[in-house]
Structure 1
Amino acid sequence: MDSRQLSYFLAVVDHEGFVRAAEHLHLAQPSLSQAIKALERKLDTPLFHRHSRGVTLTEAGRALVGPARQVLRDLQVAGETISAVKGLRHGRIDIASMPSPAIDPLSDLIAEFGRRAPGVTVNVVAAATAERTIEIVRSGSCELGVLGTPHPLHDADLVTRRLRSQRFVLITSGDDAAPEGALRREDLAGRRLIAGPRGTGMRSLIEEMRSRGIDLDVVVETEHREQVLTLVAGGVGSAVLTDGWGAVARRMGLRVLDLEPPAHLDLWLITRRAPITPAAREFWDMVEHGDR
């Protein structure tokens, strides 16, 4: 098999079918189908179940996904290593990130990296939860991941680097009557809240407060974290978010109130225990050495 066939195979996997994969590859669908069939003949096993609703991976197909990603990533590492030796400053980094750390600190890290390596493209992939971020990095789809978790992060498959912590705050409308200063968690009783899905730090804190008898009403649940502030501004409810959103919220005329006792989310940079491209290594080293 060759790298082109593997890249076609992963395109079908990632885009959940031949039609979208062919569009992404700017390739005629019959040509893509023929390439996959040639790969299946070479491996002497079908990789996809083909049916009226599209395709699903066979057991052999599922087994091939991880090795295929690693082969293509290794080829990328090899090519970019040669380019780095030749003094070229180009390449691409794929970073999976949860919404809150994507705002802060990832935006600042990307800005600093852009000054250090202006020829490198940074591609940020959205991940709603810490588990999803880890899954994307483990699979090899992205070399780096940025996530937040209220618990220590230990994973034998990953190299981890703690970035810092963010405090949870209540973001509410500009005309909210809550007094200035910190707000006790008990004072949130009866509030209508906008929350993320289960598995997110903000939702875990809400469920923890509920378990302690604080009456909280989740009126909107959304995976689109950028939608939360718009809903707060529209008077739908308040939101428990990290203080990384505070600057944006204040610019929108919203109030940002500390919660007591405080709760924090630890932010982490992660990568697999495998070779990474020179561009990704430079990004990692920039963070690790604090040279930013």
Structure 2
Amino acid sequence: MDIRQLEYFLAVVEHGGVNRAAQHLHVAQASLSQGIRQLERELKLSLFHRTGRNLVLNPAGQLLLEPARKVLDDLLAAQDIMRGARELQVGSITIGTMPEMSSEAVAAWSGSFTRLHPDIRIDLSEFASAADLCDEVLTGHCELGFTTFPVPTDNLDSVELGVQRLLLVMPPGTDPVDAREPLELARLEGVPLVTSSSALRENDIVATVLRRESVVPRISAQVPNRHAQMTLVLNGAASAFLPLRMATAAHRSGAVVAETRPEICTPFGIVHRPGSLNPAAKSFVIQSHADLAHWNALIAGHRADGASLLHAALLADDELNADRRTASDAERRTASDAERRTASDAERRTASEETIANA
């Protein structure tokens, strides 16, 4: 039997006769009748009681009904999966983020996706607030939005990714801190701080935590973005609260980084419009979740061995970078081997053609 015969069989059952089934499938009635008879010959069973022009399922036909439906459902599911696979080969994903969710972090999480799907373009934009970001996602200008929670709308679906930790990043040359002991926020009275004028939600969170510790923050500078914050810190102008990923980069540039007590952190994740995502966006969410979970697992492993949060993050980054270099080297070797095989095949074909020509 073939798929077309099963489709004819189900159409006759569901539309109550050959004529209406043929009209629904846009085929000739004679072709449909012939397909049903061929199916019965192959099964060596009659599937219908024939009374005049009417076809009524007999017991054998009743037995075939559910298996036939399952076969066609499975076929449609396979076609959907393959269609999704084709859509993952080309196209683009529009992603929004906000100042509290630095673009560097989103870019880091999208690295694996880009390597797996190099022909998918990622269009990344930053918006001033969670409200602006959610508006862009609701209107369809962005398929995905990376944001801290909560968000100011109930009209979006959300995927929680984790908690963003803020560490205190101090200028190079600051008296070293004991990495094993968090820095008490109460000691920050009078310490100059630089804030980002665009990270309003984060500024409110920091200010609230400091007030609880009876600390009046001394804001010595307010700059447009995180890059400017880190630049002022590295130039010795002030300290700043920065996410863990940026704190590790600042540490590698000479900054002094400290965990704080109490911790300052915010939950974060992805928002999107209700309903199913397109295959590329869905794959991006899955890959981002997996990459972040892997990074967190590496950090947790090093912390279990006694490393501080900063040191554990540095070790995790080193491991991930080493894995990427190993993967890149393997890809280059595979490509080089393929080129050599292609060249060798071409040389053999040329030699064979010359032999035939000289014969």
For normalisation by structure 2, the TM-score amounts to 0.52
The reply to whether residue 130 of structure 1 matches residue 111 of structure 2 is no
Query: Deviation at 1:132?
Result: 2.6
The reply to whether residue 180 of structure 1 matches residue 178 of structure 2 is yes
- Alpha-carbon spacing, 1:221–1:125, altered in 2? closer, same or farther (3 Å): same
The amino acid that maps onto 1:206 is V
Q: What is the 5 A alignment of 1:1-292?
A: 84=83, 87=86, 89-99=89-99, 101-103=101-103, 105-149=105-149, 152-153=150-151, 155-177=153-175, 179-181=177-179, 182-197=182-197, 200-212=200-212, 213-274=214-275, 276-287=277-288
Percent of residue pairs bearing the same amino acid type: 22
- Partner Cα separation in structure 2 for residue 199 and residue 128 of structure 1: 8
Give the total of aligned pairs: 210
The amino acid that maps onto 2:93 is I
The amino acid that maps onto 2:203 is R
- Partner Cα separation in structure 2 for residue 129 and residue 176 of structure 1: 33
- Structure 2 segments unaligned to the other structure (5+ residues): 1-79, 295-359
For the 8 Å contact 2:198–2:224, the answer to whether it is kept is no
Matched position secondary structure for 2:110: helix
The amino acid that maps onto 2:220 is V
The amino acid that maps onto 1:194 is V
Name which of structure 1's ranges 228-237 and 100-109 shifts more when overlaid on structure 2: 100-109
- Alpha-carbon spacing, 1:255–1:105, altered in 2? closer, same or farther (3 Å): same
What corresponds to 1:13 in structure 2?
none
Tell me which protein shows more strand as a share of its residues: 1
The amino acid that maps onto 2:97 is S
- Partner Cα separation in structure 2 for residue 237 and residue 135 of structure 1: 35
Query: Deviation at 1:104?
Result: 5.8
The amino acid that maps onto 2:226 is R
Query: Deviation at 1:145?
Result: 0.7
For the 8 Å contact 2:100–2:201, the answer to whether it is kept is no
The amino acid that maps onto 1:172 is M
- Alpha-carbon spacing, 1:178–1:202, altered in 2? closer, same or farther (3 Å): farther
For the 8 Å contact 2:196–2:226, the answer to whether it is kept is yes
Query: Deviation at 1:167?
Result: 1.6
- Partner Cα separation in structure 2 for residue 207 and residue 253 of structure 1: 26
- Alpha-carbon spacing, 1:102–1:84, altered in 2? closer, same or farther (3 Å): farther
For the 8 Å contact 1:144–1:271, the answer to whether it is kept is yes
For normalisation by structure 1, the TM-score amounts to 0.63
For the 8 Å contact 2:145–2:272, the answer to whether it is kept is yes
The amino acid that maps onto 1:171 is V
Query: Deviation at 1:173?
Result: 0.7
- Alpha-carbon spacing, 1:222–1:274, altered in 2? closer, same or farther (3 Å): farther
For the 8 Å contact 1:166–1:244, the answer to whether it is kept is no
Measured on the aligned residues, the alpha-carbon RMSD in Å equals: 2.8
- Structure 1 segments unaligned to the other structure (5+ residues): 1-80
Tell me which protein shows more helix as a share of its residues: 2
